[in-house]
Chain A
Amino acid sequence: MAIDARHVSKSFANYVALRDVDLHVEEGQLVALLGPSGSGKTTLLRIIAGLDGPDPNPDTAVIVDGQDILDRRPSERRVGFVFQHYALFRHMTVFENIAFGLRVRPRKLRPSEPEIRRRVDELLELTQLGRWRFHYPSQLSGGQRQRVALARALAIEPSVLLLDEPFGALDAKVRQELRRWLRALHAKIPVTSVLVTHDQEEALEVADRIVIMNQGRIEQTGTPDEVFHNPASEFVVTFLGHVNLFHGRHGANGQAARVFVRPHELDIERVPTSSESVFASVLRIQSAGPLVRVELATEQNDPITVEMTHDRHRDLTLKAGDRVYVKVRDVRVFVAAN
């Protein structure tokens, strides 16, 4: 079920969370809303869920599967929601938590107990929680609890799945595992999903498409590849990954411009091979990691970081204090005018 949110605005007492935002999610896609705190991503998610209401506006609409659900209460929207801190029902077992959405249905729509049991077992199987079915949330680890939360949300067969920083409260390692697991789950059950996160690595790894938000606006929408390599604005390029800032001149009038280059798009050479190579001296070399990072100081710009493979580093035999030249390897560079 595709999601179409149009002209959504939301202001709170002392700040504006969303400014006339349009969001479109294709059916079956997993979209990440990525941005810093205060960008409005959680607010947008909650408005889709019905937990908050947008500012009243005749043009505002939230259309899911062809129907405007804006006037429906949260309990009527059939939206699956996973909270950052799980929000599991403490006094119920894992089984009862997952069964909850099915058991509270009005009599006419409620499946029989055996049917409920079957469905819950299926989900327990899917989330590998079978042996915990009669345990209480307090007896589970954080990662397990979040899987219960997910199973619980999926039990009601939602048209849309919304996840609010689902892995934010977990350790780094558990986070990674669950990311991969979520990706696999989505492949098996392709519910239209929207994931809110401030972790760019997470968004780049998990999502089909990424929506980058900042201060209540959408900065760019695209695949992880597009967004990383073809950033549409200064915000996007500085938000994703490391970036170096050069000051240069642009165009016929020599307008002052800010040039952003990623560390792996730069190379170091002992002898300048182009007129645009920048003279620099090596400050620090960090070789513990998949790539070698070299920090250099320059005259006119801020310190820059260059990333290179270990092989290249060996060829160059750099050490701190060396005077070298920094060259832009790729001409695909983003220029922003002041």
Chain B
Amino acid sequence: MTRLRQHSVIPGFGLTLGYTLSYLSLIVLIPLSALAVKGAAQPWAQFSEAVFDPRTLAAWRLTFGTALIASLINAFFGLIVAWTLVRYDFPGRRILDALIDVPFALPTAVSGIALTAIYSQNGWMGRWLQPLGIKAAFSPLGIVIALTFIGLPFIVRTVQPAVEDLDPAMEEAASLLGASRLTALRRVILPALQPALIAGFITAFARALGEYGSVIFISGNMPMKTEIASLLIVTKLEQFDYAGAAAIGLLMLVSSFVLLLVVNVGQWWSTRHMRRIA
């Protein structure tokens, strides 16, 4: 890495600093602080009424629960997919790799209606689940499916580099010391992948908490049953309950930031604790 000097001979420091800070404040900081202020500045009674309302609590429970389940599913399958993409070669590997990015690139409204079509009663998947008594669309299960769809790339793209970085000598050492492949996976490889897996999980979870477009079509949006928190905010806005929307929104924002912080601190901690052996 080259040395960087403060206010070096390179021109443009003042200009770019000024512009960056202004733009950042205008677009990001001021709007976010509006939420913080509007959310927090209201009387406590009003705030807690919005936040502890049974409908709101039901929405929180649902949002949190489905996000958790979806992220766990993604952690499991995402790990397998990331491992497969890095370690094995097979016809169609490149296509599989490209497909991982689809949820990133596809507009959420499009994924929303597509997933609904597939998992509704006559849909391609729905028709298999129906005789089993499983209702996918318009139920929490549908929400979990949509959130799984959305969160998958986060886990796979976070775990993939970690798998690529695994030292082959470490696995050879485990094998030579007598460990079967399964034992080596459990005792040596998984622990080494743990930091990336956790970071991916939290990122997917954070995204799932705030997801809107891909969920609102498949969920059915029944208050107290299949209404997610972000939809509740929109509903309150439509009813001009700005204070209520701000209250819930602020909570959502704070939880996103806390999760972001956890991921960053976790990564800093794990690079200190388990430094690469040079």
Do A81 and B178 contact each other (CB < 8 Å), given the known contacts A86-B277, A137-B277? no
Q: Is the interface of A mostly helix, strand, loop or mixed?
A: loop
Is A83 in contact with B173, judged by CB distance below 8 angstroms?
yes
Is B178 in contact with A156, judged by CB distance below 8 angstroms?
yes
Alpha-carbon separation in the docked complex, A80 to B194 (Å): 28
The interface residues of chain A lying within 8 Å CB-to-CB of B176 are 49-51, 74-75, 77, 79-81, 153
The interface residues of chain A lying within 8 Å CB-to-CB of B179 are 75, 100, 104
Do A104 and B275 contact each other (CB < 8 Å), given the known contacts A49-B176, A75-B175, A87-B170? no
Contact of B177 among A142, A156, A169 (CB under 8 A): A156
Is A101 in contact with B169, judged by CB distance below 8 angstroms?
no
From B183, which residue of chain A is reached at the shortest CB distance?
Answer: A104
The interface residues of chain B lying within 8 Å CB-to-CB of A152 are 173, 177
A129 to chain B, nearest CB (A): 16
A91 CB within 8 Å of chain B: yes
Contact with B along A81-92 (1 / 0, CB 8 A): 101011111111
B274 CB within 8 Å of chain A: yes
Contact of A87 among B167, B183, B275 (CB under 8 A): B167
Q: Which of B60-68, B185-193, B227-235 contacts A (4 or more CB under 8 A)?
A: B185-193
Alpha-carbon separation in the docked complex, A73 to B181 (Å): 11
From B169, which residue of chain A is reached at the shortest CB distance?
Answer: A87
The interface residues of chain A lying within 8 Å CB-to-CB of B169 are 83, 85, 87
Number of interface residues of B (CB under 8 A): 24
B180 CB within 8 Å of chain A: yes
A137 to chain B, nearest CB (A): 6
The interface residues of chain A lying within 8 Å CB-to-CB of B273 are 136, 138
Is B178 in contact with A87, judged by CB distance below 8 angstroms?
no
B164 CB within 8 Å of chain A: no
From A162, which residue of chain B is reached at the shortest CB distance?
Answer: B176
The interface residues of chain B lying within 8 Å CB-to-CB of A105 are 178
Contact of A89 among B170, B180, B278 (CB under 8 A): B170
Is B173 in contact with A138, judged by CB distance below 8 angstroms?
no
| CB under 8 Å from chain A, chain B span 166-213 | 167, 169-170, 172-180, 183, 187-188, 191-192, 194
The interface residues of chain A lying within 8 Å CB-to-CB of B191 are 89, 91-92
B181 to chain A, nearest CB (A): 8
A145 CB within 8 Å of chain B: yes
Alpha-carbon separation in the docked complex, A104 to B86 (Å): 26
Is B275 in contact with A101, judged by CB distance below 8 angstroms?
no
B contact residues vs A (CB 8 Å cutoff):
167, 169-170, 172-180, 183, 187-188, 191-192, 194, 273-278
A contact residues vs B (CB 8 Å cutoff):
49-51, 73-81, 83, 85-92, 100-101, 104-105, 136-138, 142, 145, 152-153, 155-156, 169
6 further interface pairs, Cβ-Cβ under 8 Å (given A81-B172, A90-B192, A105-B178)? A76-B178, A81-B176, A85-B167, A90-B276, A90-B277, A138-B273
